Chain A
Amino acid sequence: MLHNYLVTALRSLFRHKLFSLINIVGLTIGLAACLLIAAFVRDELSYDRFWKNSDSLYRLQIKFQIPGRGIDIFASTMGPAREAFTRYFADDVERATRFTEQYPIIRAGDRIFEEPIYLTDPETAEMFDFDMLAGDMRQTLNDSRSIALSDELALKYFGRTDVIGETMTISTFDLKADFRVGAVYRKIPNNSTLEIPAMIMINPSDFAGQGWMFDEWFSMNVLTYFQLRDGASIASVNSRLDDFANKVITLPEDFGAGKTTDIAHFFTIALPDIQLKGEGMGEMKATGSMSNVLVFAAIALLILAIACINFMNLSTARSTKRAAEVSLRKVLGANRRQLILQFLGETFLIVCFAMVLAVVLVEALLPVYSDFIGKTLALDYTDGTTVTTLVLLVLTVSLLGGAYPAFVLSSFRPAHVLKANKSADTPGSLMLRNLLVVLQFSVSITLIVGTVGIYAQKIYATSMDPGFNRDQVLVLHGVGRTGVVPQQQALKDQILRLPGVAAATYANDFPGSGGESNTSVTIPASGSDRSSFIKQRSMDADFFKTFEIKLLAGRDFNRDIAQDRADIATENAVEGQVIQYNVMINQSAVRMLGLGTPEKALGIVLREGAGTERVTDMTIVGVVADTHYQSLRKAIRPELYACGENGLGFMNVRFRGNPREALSAIRDVWTGMISDVPFVTSFADENLARQFKEEEALIQLLFFFAGFAVLVSCLGLYGLASFATERRTKEIGVRKVMGATVVDIVRLLVWQFTKPVLLANLIAWPIAVYGLLSWLEAFPYRLESWLLAPLCLGAGMLALLIAWATVGGNAARVARSNPIKALRYE
Chain B
Amino acid sequence: MLKLHNLSKVYRTDEVETVALNSVNVEIETGEFVAIMGPSGCGKSTLLNIIGMLDSPSSGNYFFMDEDVAGYSEAKLGNIRKQHIGFIFQSFNLIDELTVAENIELALLYHNIPASERRDRVARVMDKVGIAHRAKHMPSQLSGGQQQRVAVARAVVGDQAMILADEPTGNLDSAHGQEVMEMLQALNEEGTTIVMVTHSPAHADYARRTINLFDGHVVTENLRAAV
Q: Give A residues with C-beta under 8 Å from B.
A: 423, 730-731, 733-741, 744, 818-820, 823-826
Contact = CB atoms under 8 A, between A and B. Distances in A.
Contacts of A730: 93, 95
Given A739-B107, A819-B54, A820-B55, 8 more contacts: A730-B93, A737-B81, A740-B110, A820-B49, A823-B89, A823-B93, A825-B91, A826-B91
Contacts of A741: 75, 78, 110
The secondary structure that dominates the A interface is helix
B59 interface: no
B95 A734 contact: yes
B17 to A, nearest CB: 19
Given A730-B93, A738-B82, A741-B75, A818 B110 contact: no
A824 B45 contact: yes
A736 B106 contact: no
A825 B106 CA distance: 21
B15 interface: no
Given A731-B95, A824-B45, A826-B91, A737 B111 contact: no
B131 to A, nearest CB: 18
Nearest to A733: B93
A824 B54 CA distance: 11
A730 B139 CA distance: 14
Nearest to B79: A739
A737 B52 CA distance: 9
Contacts of A735: 95, 106, 110
A733 B49 CA distance: 13
B142 interface: no
25 contacts: A731-B95, A734-B93, A734-B94, A734-B106, A735-B95, A735-B106, A735-B110, A737-B52, A737-B81, A737-B87, A737-B93, A738-B82, A738-B106, A738-B110, A739-B79, A739-B81, A739-B107, A739-B111, A741-B78, A741-B110, A744-B110, A818-B55, A819-B54, A820-B49, A825-B91
A620 to B, nearest CB: 78
Given A818-B54, A820-B54, A739 B95 contact: no
B65 interface: no
Nearest to B80: A739
B97 interface: yes
A744 B106 CA distance: 12
Nearest to A730: B93
A824 B87 CA distance: 13
Contact of B109 (A738, A819, A823): A738
A731 B139 CA distance: 13
Interface string B93-119: 111110000000011011100000000
Contacts of B109: 738, 740
Contacts of A738: 82, 106-107, 109-110, 154
Interface residues of B, number: 24
Contact of A731 (B55, B79, B89, B97): B97
Contacts of B78: 736, 739, 741
Nearest to A430: B97
B82 A739 contact: yes
Nearest to A820: B54
Contacts of A825: 91
Contacts of B106: 734-735, 738
Contacts of A734: 93-95, 106
B76 to A, nearest CB: 11
Contacts of A733: 93
Contacts of B82: 738-739
Nearest to B52: A737
Interface of B: 45, 49, 52, 54-55, 75, 78-79, 81-82, 87, 89, 91, 93-97, 106-107, 109-111, 154
Contacts of A737: 52, 54, 81, 87, 93
Contacts of B75: 741
B18 to A, nearest CB: 15
Contacts of A823: 89, 91, 93
B6 to A, nearest CB: 22
A425 to B, nearest CB: 10
A734 B97 CA distance: 13
A826 B96 CA distance: 12
Contacts of A731: 95-97
A741 B109 CA distance: 11
A89 to B, nearest CB: 76
A737 B53 CA distance: 9
Contacts of B49: 820
Nearest to A825: B91
B8 to A, nearest CB: 18
A802 B158 CA distance: 38
A478 B87 CA distance: 91
A490 to B, nearest CB: 87
A680 to B, nearest CB: 73
Contacts of A818: 54-55
Contacts of A824: 45
Nearest to B106: A738
Contacts of A740: 109-110
Contacts of B154: 738
Given A818-B55, A820-B55, A739 B110 contact: yes
Contacts of B107: 738-739
Nearest to A734: B93
A744 B95 CA distance: 16
Nearest to B85: A737
Contacts of A739: 78-79, 81-82, 107, 110-111
Contacts of B54: 737, 818-820
A730 B97 CA distance: 11
A825 B89 CA distance: 10
Contacts of A736: 78
A744 B75 CA distance: 12
B112 to A, nearest CB: 10
Nearest to B92: A826
A738 B153 CA distance: 13
Contacts of B110: 735, 738-741, 744
A818 B52 CA distance: 13
Contacts of B93: 730, 733-734, 737, 823, 826
A735 B97 CA distance: 13
A736 B111 CA distance: 12
Nearest to A425: B96
Which of A733, A737, A819: most chain B CB closer than 10 A?
A: A737
B125 to A, nearest CB: 14
A826 B81 CA distance: 22
Nearest to B140: A422
Nearest to B91: A826
A739 B52 CA distance: 12
A820 B94 CA distance: 14
Contacts of A826: 91, 93
A740 B105 CA distance: 13
Nearest to B110: A739
A305 to B, nearest CB: 29
Contacts of B89: 823
A734 B155 CA distance: 11
A517 B55 CA distance: 88
A423 B95 CA distance: 13
Contacts of B111: 739
A734 B107 CA distance: 9
B48 to A, nearest CB: 10
A496 to B, nearest CB: 78
A52 B66 CA distance: 98
A740 B106 CA distance: 9
Nearest to A819: B54
A825 B54 CA distance: 15
Which of A738, A740, A744, A824: most chain B CB closer than 10 A?
A: A738
Contacts of A744: 110
B180 to A, nearest CB: 18
A37 to B, nearest CB: 41
A733 to B, nearest CB: 7
B182 to A, nearest CB: 24
